[in-house]
Amino acid sequence: MKDKAIDEAYEALEHHIGEPPPPKAWEIAIRKRHVVEYVQGETDLETLAAQVDDLADTLRKADQLKRSQQESKDITEPPNHRRWALNEIFALEATGAEDVEGFRTTWLPGGLIDLENVADWITYRKESEGPPSTWITSLASDDGAPVHDADQQPGFRESLETLQYVEADHEWVQTVMVNAHGALFELKVVAHRLTRRYDWSEAWAATFVLTGRKPPPIRASYTETKRWPWYRARRGLTIRVRLDVQPRQVMEIYRAKRNRMLEGEPRPRAIGELKAQLGVFAAAHNEGFSWREAMRKWNRENPQHSFDDEARFTRDCRDAFVRITGEQLHWAGKTSIEGEH
């Protein structure tokens, strides 16, 4: 096949999908004769686009598998003796801390308990201390005075406090609601202080107080931000590491956690300018327009990228919106134009 015919097919596909086709998928499409079949009229542009998209998806999955396998190798790092020693010093310091000693003297008169007995101890305290308390937080004005509503009732919100602890298998974090008067709430307060001092998780800090079992040395901590009900594209991942973690290791941590957050979803990919413009256009005209009216307006404003098929315009706009925001486009416009069928 002549290069000119391939170039023309490439340009047609790029115009059709709104962005250049993935290079590797395009090369494979040529080798598999998908492009030849299109040029010779055996298939249409829609079929070629679907074939290239399938190839790109297969390549993405293969790449994800390769990265996952590599992560399993990279995530194992040489022993960090400094990190271990620092954690040991933290544990020694915490053992002699006044709040830890005070809690153990009051609530563990028989001495520390075994990790296997933590769940039973928590259950016993929960049953002894009664139902969980409700915390009332009053809303306040700038001067500190309670804020009142139209009926002169003070505004407030209710909340519950929970305690986290580690179960015997070292893998599962358990959560229990606590009463304001008793050992569980006091344990939460002490664990919170240890968390602030040493970056331990609350679950491991509480378990340390009860058992003396040292928390594992911290490599990194992270927080997933899911701004529900807003666009999934606003999700974020905050990673906090100490300075002994190397830049390469930070990338490994980020890649592993990001993959877990995106599990089962297509990976966010860069989009072309046309795709970006289509997504914004669809969002801006998602009220009062039918898809046909929106397409006509788009063609008037963008004659260099005009559409002659309403179904393709609709599909490309919806796809662009999903690629940008991570959410489906819920079209609120008219479904048809009056007088047209």
Q: Report pLDDT digits (tens) over 280-327.
A: 999 989 888 899 999 999 999 999 999 999 999 999 999 899 888 888
pLDDT at 24: 87
Same domain, 48 and 100: no
The model's pTM is: 0.54
Domain count, the chain: 4
Domain that holds residue 292: 273-325
Domain annotation covers residue 336 = no
pLDDT of 337 over the 60 cut:
no
Same domain, 67 and 175: no
Same domain, 166 and 207: yes
Domain annotation covers residue 146 = no
Same domain, 248 and 170: no
Same domain, 64 and 94: no
Same domain, 229 and 133: no
Same domain, 130 and 252: no
Question: Tokens representing 317?
Answer: 């706009």
Same domain, 252 and 196: no
Domain annotation covers residue 340 = no
Domain annotation covers residue 255 = yes
Same domain, 103 and 197: yes
Give CA–CA dist 321/152, Å, rounded: 46
Same domain, 115 and 205: yes
pLDDT of 152 over the 50 cut:
yes
Give CA–CA dist 129/293, Å, rounded: 66
Same domain, 305 and 250: no
pLDDT at 42: 84
User: Could you read off the pLDDT of 244-285 as tens digits, one per residue?
Assistant: 788 888 888 888 888 888 877 777 777 888 999 999 999 989
